[in-house]
């Protein structure tokens, strides 16, 4: 009999953290590792916007170090309302906005607010942490396997059979881990499913809510467009809780300012829950972010150079991988669409390296790390099957000049397989 809670005993550690610890150990021993595992930014390569940095420093000098309001600083909620209207064409009143220390406490609070024990939670695999949040809340896992033919996004047809009895549907676009975006028609079809289902639910029966993670919404490339469900189907406003923040779109992962928008009654319960867990963003950062989010010209200028740097890296790696594919090597890749990730395919399980069989995808991951000195995250870390040959490659810490040597080492590693 365990002396700990069932939750503690049932939780599994993060595969990304495990890989990160292994990489750190090897780097400390003097190894050169091309680390593309972390969904973060090297501040020396991608610093936060200079104006935001100045505003944060100024805010601390103005002694903004007290507890913030439970729902977030008023000026910040006003700024978020304008920011969301500008970027997503959706209006939210101040009581429909909740501020927190990044997206994680908000997503956790969404689950806690909506999901009871054994409630059905629909999410796609791969996707970031939905499996863990569902498990932490003792929800019922309803996992939809997504495929490259649909940008690794679940389609309306995939979801439709599972809608009856579901409590929460989780979508993320742009997607972590794939760096792909949900198409307009797909989003519209899924919204229609949710609206139709909720019309059937009467009395005290729980409604079906959509949690929409759009933390990478400003980081789209080329002709790729991001769509907010409420902008496409205004009636979805009653059932959609969106999670966003400055973490990824402004390379500010450590600044810890995020927000959720949604129905006032749901946001009110999220606020109450966070008031007990203390998941607030620091007052100084809230004040600074409030001032920054309304500096639209400065934001546009920052995003132009920031996105150029990210896309340059994504495109260079994509082209290098596709050149290997043309040579007949076992590799494939989806063209970059958004975010900071490339989705690459390395179907190497079953191949032999110097007489040693790579039996499983975990063996492949270790081979890439040992032979090519390349660290990337397998999709089985995001809920996909253990045999999935797909990987996430993050460029937030990528040194541009090192890409050719990384690609050369990978190509050599692939050529040695038989």
Q: What is the pLDDT of residues 315-349, one digit of tens each?
A: 999 999 999 999 999 999 999 999 999 999 999 99
Is the pLDDT at 1 greater than 70? The verdict is no
d(CA 277, CA 18) in angstroms, rounded, equals: 27
Strand order in the sheet with 377-378: 332-333, 341-345, 390-394, 377-378
Residue 76 region by backbone torsions, left for phi larger than 0, else alpha for psi between -120 and 50, else beta: alpha
pLDDT, position 17: 73
Token pair listed for 118 = 């054994």
Among the ranges given (73-87, 124-138, 226-240, 286-300), the one the predictor scored with the smallest mean pLDDT: 124-138
Q: For the beta carbon of residue 72, count every other beta carbon within 10 angstroms.
A: 27
d(CA 163, CA 86) in angstroms, rounded, equals: 32
Share of the chain above pLDDT 90, in %: 88
Share of the chain above pLDDT 70, in %: 99
Is the pLDDT at 6 greater than 60? The verdict is yes
pLDDT, position 11: 73
* Among candidate residues 329, 382, 293, the one with its CA nearest the CA of residue 15: 382
Report the DSSP beta bridge partners of residue 417.
353
Beta-sheet pairing, 332-333 with 341-345: antiparallel
Question: Residue 175 — pLDDT band, cuts 50, 70, 90?
Answer: very high
Instruction: Find tokens 């390296």 and name the residue.
Output: 353
What does residue 121 show for φ and ψ, rounded to 5 degrees? Answer: -115, 120
pLDDT, position 30: 86
Is the pLDDT at 185 greater than 70? The verdict is yes
pTM: 0.95
d(CA 31, CA 70) in angstroms, rounded, equals: 46
Show the beta-strand stretches assigned E in 94-154.
97-100, 120-125, 140-145
Query: Would you say 186 and 155 are in contact if contact means Cβ atoms under 8 Å apart?
Result: yes
Q: What is the pLDDT of residues 30-56, one digit of tens each?
A: 889 999 998 999 999 999 999 999 999
Is the pLDDT at 75 greater than 60? The verdict is yes
DSSP classification of residue 40: S
CATH no. for 6-46+300-415: 3.90.1150.10
d(CA 313, CA 340) in angstroms, rounded, equals: 9
Q: Which CATH number fits domain 50-295: 1.10.10.10, 3.40.640.10, 3.30.565.10, 3.30.505.10?
A: 3.40.640.10
Q: What is the pLDDT of residues 380-411, one digit of tens each?
A: 999 898 899 999 999 999 999 999 999 999 99
Is the pLDDT at 28 greater than 90? The verdict is no
Give CA 222 to chain center in angstroms.
20
Token pair listed for 414 = 């692939």
Is the pLDDT at 12 greater than 80? The verdict is no
d(CA 76, CA 245) in angstroms, rounded, equals: 12
DSSP classification of residue 314: H
Question: Residue 2 — pLDDT band, cuts 50, 70, 90?
Answer: low
Q: What is the pLDDT of residues 193-215, one digit of tens each?
A: 999 999 999 888 899 999 999 99
pLDDT, position 259: 98
CA angle 280, 67, 295 (to 5 degrees): 65
Question: Residue 4 — pLDDT band, cuts 50, 70, 90?
Answer: confident
d(CA 116, CA 158) in angstroms, rounded, equals: 24
Averaged pLDDT, 102-121? 97
pLDDT, position 5: 84
- Domain regions of the chain by residue span: 6-46+300-415, 50-295
Distances (CA, A) of 177 to 93, 341, 344, 371, 390: 31, 7, 11, 24, 10
d(CA 325, CA 351) in angstroms, rounded, equals: 17
Instruction: Find tokens 């932490």 and name the residue.
Output: 136
Q: What is the pLDDT of residues 204-258, one digit of tens each?
A: 889 999 999 999 999 999 999 999 999 999 999 999 999 999 999 999 999 999 9
Among the ranges given (191-200, 292-301, 352-361), the one the predictor scored with the smallest mean pLDDT: 352-361
């Amino acid at each position: 009999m365990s002396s700990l809670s069932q939750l503690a005993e049932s939780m599994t550690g993060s595969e990304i953290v495990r890989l990160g610890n292994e990489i750190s150990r090897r780097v400390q021993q003097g190894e050169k590792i091309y680390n593309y595992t972390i969904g973060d930014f090297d501040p020396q390569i991608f610093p936060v916007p200079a104006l935001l940095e100045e505003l944060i420093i100024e805010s601390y000098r103005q002694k903004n170090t007290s507890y913030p309001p439970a729902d977030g600083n008023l000026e910040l909620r006003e700024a978020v309302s304008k920011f969301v209207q500008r970027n997503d064409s959706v209006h939210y009143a101040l009581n429909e906005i909740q501020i927190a220390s990044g997206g994680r406490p908000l997503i956790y609070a969404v689950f806690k607010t909506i999901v009871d024990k054994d409630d059905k939670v629909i999410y796609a695999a791969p996707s970031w942490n939905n499996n863990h949040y569902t498990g932490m809340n003792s929800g019922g896992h309803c996992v939809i396997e997504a495929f490259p033919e649909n940008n690794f996004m679940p389609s309306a047809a995939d979801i439709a059979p599972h809608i009856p009895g579901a409590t929460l549907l989780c979508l993320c676009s742009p997607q972590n881990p794939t760096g792909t975006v949900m198409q307009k028609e797909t989003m519209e079809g899924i919204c229609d499913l949710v609206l139709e289902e909720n019309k059937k639910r009467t009395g005290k029966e729980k409604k079906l809510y959509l949690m929409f993670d759009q933390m990478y919404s400003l980081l789209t490339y080329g002709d790729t467009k991001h769509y907010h469900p409420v902008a496409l189907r205004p009636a979805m406003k009653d059932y959609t809780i969106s999670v966003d923040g400055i973490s990824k779109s402004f390379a500010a992962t450590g600044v810890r300012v995020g927000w959720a928008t949604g129905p006032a009654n749901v946001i009110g319960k999220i606020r109450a829950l966070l008031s007990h867990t203390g998941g607030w963003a620091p007052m100084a950062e809230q004040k600074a972010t409030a001032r920054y989010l309304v500096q639209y010209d400065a934001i546009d200028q920052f995003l132009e150079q920031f996105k150029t740097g990210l896309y340059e890296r994504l495109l260079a790696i994509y082209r290098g991988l596709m050149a290997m594919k043309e040579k007949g090597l076992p590799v494939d890749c989806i063209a970059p669409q958004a975010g900071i990730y490339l989705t690459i395919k390395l179907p190497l399980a079953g191949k032999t390296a110097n007489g040693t069989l790579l039996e499983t995808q975990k063996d492949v991951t270790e081979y890439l790390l040992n032979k090519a000195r390349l660290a990337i995250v397998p999709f089985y870390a995001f809920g996909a099957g253990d045999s999935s040959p797909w990987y996430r490659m993050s460029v937030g810490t990528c040194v541009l000049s090192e890409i050719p040597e990384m690609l050369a080492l990978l190509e050599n590693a692939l050529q040695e397989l038989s």
